[in-house]
Amino acid sequence: MYDSTLKEKLVLDLHTVDAIKFGKFKLKSGIISPYYFDLRRLVSYPHLLELVADVFWERLRVLSFDIIAGVPYTALPIATVIVVKHTQYMILVRKEKKEYGTGQQIEGEYHKGQHAVIVDDVITNGESKFAVIKVIEEAGIIVKDIVVLLDRGQGGPELLARAGYKCHSILDVQEVFDILLKYNRIDNELADTCLRFTLKSKEQFMKEATPSKQKRIASISSK
């Protein structure tokens, strides 16, 4: 199992390559965040990509699954490294169904009744995870676990849990800010600003998670 030293190395390396950014960033939800995790940059740093894949595997190897599903697009290189290094099976879930060729939304070989674990870089409110879960479960594949590198602390794991899914996060924002503070990469004022934003946005999101989103969660979990 990875220890605190490895976590520190990972966070510091991610910050060094600008995969952890501070400023003003518009998230998919439309809100403006004072920090952003840009793990798409990993494809340009193979040694760091391999380190991230190894950290994922330490969490994955204790779970029960038949296939790994990487969420497009950021998690696909991570998932690919994992399956190559550890001889696992993988499926690719397209964001949209193909309108040509085979017309499939899931690429790769799979069978009904298999268990898939979902791999992704970050979880915010869980929206992208529910979208992938829906496609996978409609194909007859069972989903119980989701593994992410970072939990932004904005309610995603809680909503997944309400629908019967377990989200395993390797890092959370508090750990990231604590490590960056420890090594003087950021100051206390910036860390406090980021944490206040996280708490406020989580509170707002959880309030807005009813009733339509709760109905969608209930419909997924009842399948």
CA–CA distance, 216 with 220 (Å, rounded to integer): 6
Q: What is the mean pLDDT of the chain?
A: 89
We find that the CATH architecture of domain 4-221 is: 3-Layer(aba) Sandwich (3.40)
Q: Are 18 and 36 in contact (CB under 8 A)?
A: no
Least confident of 57-61, 66-70, 218-222: 218-222
* Percent of the chain scoring above 70 in pLDDT: 89
117 pLDDT higher than 60: yes
Per-residue pLDDT band at 104 (split at 50, 70, 90): confident
